[in-house]
DNA sequence: GTAATACTCTATCGAATCAATAGAGTAACA
DNA sequence: TGTTACTCTATTGATTCGATAGAGTATTAC
């Protein structure tokens, strides 16, 4: 029942890039993203390449380069990301929709464990497939606004042509 | 999001012992349980000791010995078993009720990932804490009866003083 | 009481996964 | 044309996973 660091970092990176996009500065350097999200740079590098290969991100080399979302944030579901990075959502392969595999129990059709785990997998999938990156980012920003916290989409480096969201009340 | 073999075997063993109890032959040998559930004997040994230490099982040595449930099946929740064997239900430590731990994100209070994962952990816990071993066993036996399948609580070894459930229609 | 039985303990195993780091290489922009 | 920043390959130590081996010990039936 566990999300690995790899998966956690992947999702936090995507969310970070979602915020960056929303903020009008969609392209972010690995280094900046790593610093902002407290993720080891080299580890993040590998994860971003994986996310790019999976079609979630695109990259630009050279000066002013970096990573950005490859598609609108409302077309990326958390569930799909986790499936790509971590594998199936199901806690046990015999209830997986995407990666079914028979297990060692003597009678799958009447396995009590399977019945329970099927409910779990459905509940998890219902949540994670419903949540898009956009919804997640929006919920985050809403909460920050409620608490009057400034949105630090590109804090750290002042450089780059970033336009801070005007309507936010700082402090 | 994964249940390990250890956890799977533990739950299947408990369910097996739940059926055995229901069937009037509550004490089952490791060897028989392993054979019935397709679990490696030596691996199961270790798991049963763990379940005993955790208070779910009790054991009897010598002839006619074996393992049995230490308490009624409706006082054992699937969630508690998994917590003992696998650890916290939460996919990420920062949303765990039982084993909270701060994660590396810069602002936990406004972390979008955390919001999503909190929903997942609550959904999972709601299911797993509601299901007792008894409910699981009952659901299983009901389904078997529906499909007119005999309940094989002690198949394999004919020996021991087992009373087969009379009302079941074989084949 | 004693032998068979069945749980208990310690130890070890290879394989796989996890989390992270190092360093050289290459495309692109100013 | 040099700096920038992504890309690729390789390796690392630690931990967990799944499983097995074998000796030891308590209990019961006879």
What is the predicted pLDDT for the residue at A148?
Answer: 78
E strand map for B40-101: 57-60, 66-69
CA pair distance A58, A69, nearest whole angstrom: 6
Percent of chain B with pLDDT over 70: 88
Closest CB from B1, B110, B126 relative to A140:
B110
What is the predicted pLDDT for the residue at A60?
Answer: 96
Say whether both A68 and A122 belong to one domain: no
Q: What tokens appear for A61 in the block?
A: 């080399």
User: Using CB atoms within 10 A of its CB, is residue B64 exposed (0-12), middle (13-18) or buried (19+)?
Assistant: exposed
In a domain, B149, yes or no: yes
Question: What is the distance in angstroms measured between the alpha-carbon CA of A15 and the sugar C1' of C28?
Answer: 27
CA pair distance A36, A160, nearest whole angstrom: 15
Say whether both A66 and A17 belong to one domain: yes
Average pLDDT over residues B105-117: 96
Say whether both B53 and B102 belong to one domain: no
Q: Which residues of chain A have pLDDT under 70?
A: 152-171
Distances (CA, A) of B49 to A98, B10, B38, B108, B144: 35, 10, 18, 39, 30
pLDDT at residue B162 above 60? no
What is the predicted pLDDT for the residue at B148?
Answer: 77
In a domain, B83, yes or no: no
In a domain, B94, yes or no: yes
What is the predicted pLDDT for the residue at B155?
Answer: 42
Say whether both B31 and B64 belong to one domain: yes
What is the predicted pLDDT for the residue at A153?
Answer: 55
Question: Per-residue pLDDT tens for A94-111?
Answer: 999 999 999 999 999 999
CA pair distance B166, B171, nearest whole angstrom: 14
Average pLDDT over residues B114-122: 97
**Residues of chain A with C-beta less than 8 angstroms from the C-beta of B143:** 109-110, 115
Residue B43's SS3 state is helix
In a domain, B50, yes or no: yes
In a domain, A16, yes or no: yes
Q: How far is A60 from chain B (nearest CA, A)?
A: 26
Structural domain for A35, as ranges: 5-75+133-153
Say whether both B65 and B139 belong to one domain: yes
pLDDT at residue B156 above 70? no
**Residues of chain A with C-beta less than 8 angstroms from the C-beta of B109:** 143, 147
pLDDT at residue B45 above 80? yes
Say whether both A15 and A94 belong to one domain: no
**pTM for the whole structure:** 0.88
Say whether both A121 and A41 belong to one domain: no
Element (H, E) at A57: strand A57-60
pLDDT at residue B44 above 50? yes
pLDDT at residue B157 above 80? no
What is the predicted pLDDT for the residue at B150?
Answer: 76
Nucleotides of C under 7 A from a protein CB: 4-11, 17-23, 26-30
Say whether both B26 and B71 belong to one domain: yes
CA pair distance B126, B122, nearest whole angstrom: 6
Question: Per-residue pLDDT tens for B59-93?
Answer: 999 999 999 999 999 999 999 999 999 999 999 99
Query: Which residues interact with strand C by a CB < 7 Å criterion?
Result: A 4-6, 9, 40-43, 45-46, 60-65, 86; B 28-31, 45-46, 48-49, 52, 59-67
Say whether both A148 and A95 belong to one domain: no
Say whether both B28 and B62 belong to one domain: yes
Average pLDDT over residues B146-161: 57
Q: pLDDT tier at B113 (50, 70, 90 boundaries)?
A: very high
In a domain, A84, yes or no: no
Is the Cβ–Cβ distance between B54 and B6 less than 8 Å?
no
Q: pLDDT tier at B152 (50, 70, 90 boundaries)?
A: low
In a domain, A46, yes or no: yes
Question: How many domains in chain B?
Answer: 2
Computed over every residue of chain A, the mean pLDDT equals 89
Which CATH number characterizes residue A146's domain? 1.10.10.10
Say whether both A120 and A51 belong to one domain: no
At residue B69's C-alpha, the angle toward residues B63 and B72, to 5°, is: 140
In a domain, B98, yes or no: yes
Say whether both A146 and A62 belong to one domain: yes
């Amino acid at each position: 029942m566990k999300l690995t660091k790899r998966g956690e970092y992947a999702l936090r990176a995507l969310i970070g890039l979602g915020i960056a996009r929303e903020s009008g500065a969609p392209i972010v350097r690995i280094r900046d993203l790593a610093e902002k999200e407290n993720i080891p740079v080299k580890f993040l590098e590998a994860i971003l390449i994986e996310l790019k290969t999976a079609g979630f991100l695109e990259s630009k080399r050279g000066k002013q380069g970096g990573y950005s979302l490859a598609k609108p944030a409302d077309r990326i579901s958390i569930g799909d990301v986790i499936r790509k990075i971590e594998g199936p959502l199901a806690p046990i392969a015999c209830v997986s929709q995407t990666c079914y595999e028979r297990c060692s129990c003597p009678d799958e059709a009447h396995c009590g464990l399977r019945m329970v785990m099927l409910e779990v997998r459905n509940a998890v999938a219902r949540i994670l497939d419903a949540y898009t990156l956009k919804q997640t980012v929006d919920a985050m920003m809403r909460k920050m606004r409620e608490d009057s916290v400034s949105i630090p989409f590109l804090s750290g480096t002042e450089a780059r042509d970033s336009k801070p969201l005007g309507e936010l009340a700082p402090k």
